[in-house]
Amino acid sequence: MKRKLILGLAVFCLAGPACADWAINMPKGITDMSHETWRLHMHVFWWCVAIGIVVFGTMAYTIFKHRKSRGHQAAQFAHNGKLEVVWTAIPVIILLIMAVPAAETLVKLEYTQDPDLTVVITGYQWRWHYEYPDLGVEFFSTLAAESNAARRKGSGIDPATVENYLLDVDKPLVVPKGAKVRVLLTSKDVIHAWWVPALAIKKDAIPGFMNQMWFRPEQTGTYRGQCAELCGVDHGYMPVVVHVVEPAEFKTWVAARAEEAAPATAAGEEE
């Protein structure tokens, strides 16, 4: 009985995340690096499953076989030098097998040079500011009004009726497909973290320092994430939305934004 339950528990624990393509796993994402990260994640995961099967299997066997109720007599050994060397050495080898690809991916992730486009992102309590320093475009991005209304306590709005509840903003970040985008990240108040799972990048926005990261989106579409560092009351309400568009569309978007901004600045200068 107990044995079955323990076994069942182990199987349940292992079988769960094994259904890799269900919504319970890490998304594969839309960049080469996100694919690489995903593969690394699965690689390490499967090694853990394998080790788990061996260890839990042995335990299940001994729990089943070597119980007093089956009349098993206790052996009295307490050492086995060779065995101990083996089970110290094998994990080391497995770790090396994991460490090498991890290090390779990390080195690539840290290579932020030669970008096609640079975006400066600044965290505020509780919204993001996006700036394209080379294109003269900048704007704030805040939680979408619908979500903002529904999220209030006692709002009476069922979150399920709100599209992309808490994951939508008024003005998303727009980037061209295929371009290497370098993100420069900082904050004006407390620490935030900018994260889009589909891009497999996350970094802290630290006041007074400028962090860097990069991504090259390979698919158009809208990708959503959230602030990932506790930043106060509305930490849960500063989502990140990235629009990946075709390069041509990006150009028109930039032009439109510049036009939008121009009268405003002109008006500002007149005063």
Residues 45-64 that bind another protein (CB under 8 A): 45, 48, 51-52, 55-56, 58-59, 62-63
In contact, 116 and 180? CB cutoff 8 Å: yes
Alpha-carbon span 246 to 205, nearest angstrom:
28
Nearer to another protein, 85 or 256 (CB): 85
Residue 136: which region, alpha, beta or left (left: phi > 0; alpha: psi -120 to 50)? left
Please report how close the Cβ of residue 219 comes to another protein at its closest, in angstroms. 17
Alpha-carbon span 10 to 253, nearest angstrom:
53
13's contact among ligand HEA, ligand CUA, another protein, none, with CB below 5 to 8 A by partner kind, is another protein
Is 150 in a helix, a strand, or coil?
A: helix
Task: Please give the full DSSP string across 15-43, using - where no structure is assigned.
Answer: HHHH-TTSTTS----SSHHHHHHHHHHHH
Site string for ligand CUA, 183-202 (x = CB under 6 A): ---------x----------
Q: Name the β-bridge partners of 141.
A: 128
Which is nearest to 194 in space by CA: 136, 253, 148, 141? 141
Please report how close the Cβ of residue 230 comes to ligand HEA at its closest, in angstroms. 7
238's contact among another protein, ligand CUA, ligand HEA, none, with CB below 5 to 8 A by partner kind, is ligand CUA
Using CB under 8 A as the binding rule, whether residue 82 contacts another protein is answered as: no
Using CB under 6 A as the binding rule, whether residue 240 contacts ligand CUA is answered as: no
Site for ligand HEA in 149-208 (CB under 6 A): none
Nearer to ligand HEA, 84 or 134 (CB): 84
123's contact among another protein, ligand CUA, ligand HEA, none, with CB below 5 to 8 A by partner kind, is ligand CUA
Query: Which one of residues 238, 241, 244, 245 is an interface residue with ligand CUA (CB under 6 A)?
Result: 238
Nearer to another protein, 41 or 249 (CB): 41
Q: Which sign, positive or negative, has the C-alpha torsion 75, 78, 80, 86?
A: positive
Alpha-carbon span 241 to 141, nearest angstrom:
9
Using CB under 6 A as the binding rule, whether residue 229 contacts ligand CUA is answered as: yes
Nearer to another protein, 52 or 136 (CB): 52
Measure the CA angle with vertex 152, ends 149 and 155; round to 5°: 75
The residues binding ligand CUA (CB under 6 A) are: 123, 126, 192, 227, 229-231, 235, 238
